[in-house]
Amino acid sequence: MVGSRANRRPAFGTDQYRKPFRGLRESVATSVTHRPTHRARFYPQHIVLVLANSGVRIGELRGLAWSDVESRRDGQGVLMYVRGKTKKRRQVVPQPSVAKYLKRIRDYREIELRKSVSDDEPVLCSRDGLPVEN
For 63-73, write each residue's pLDDT tens digit: 999 999 999 99
Give residue-wise pLDDT tens across range 46-67.
999 999 999 999 999 999 999 9
Q: Which residues are within 8 A (CB) of 60 and not within 5 positions of it... i.e. 6 or more apart?
A: 82, 83, 84, 92
Cα separation, 104 vs 63, in Å, equals 18
Q: Where are the alpha helices (DSSP H) in 55-134?
A: 58-62, 97-113
How many other C-beta atoms can be found within 10 angstroms of the C-beta atom of residue 48? 15
Give residue-wise pLDDT tens across range 95-104.
999 999 999 9
pTM of the predicted model over 0.95: no
CATH of 14-113 among 3.30.450, 1.10.3470, 2.40.10, 3.90.15: 3.90.15
Strand order of the sheet with strand 69-71? Answer: 69-71, 78-83, 89-92
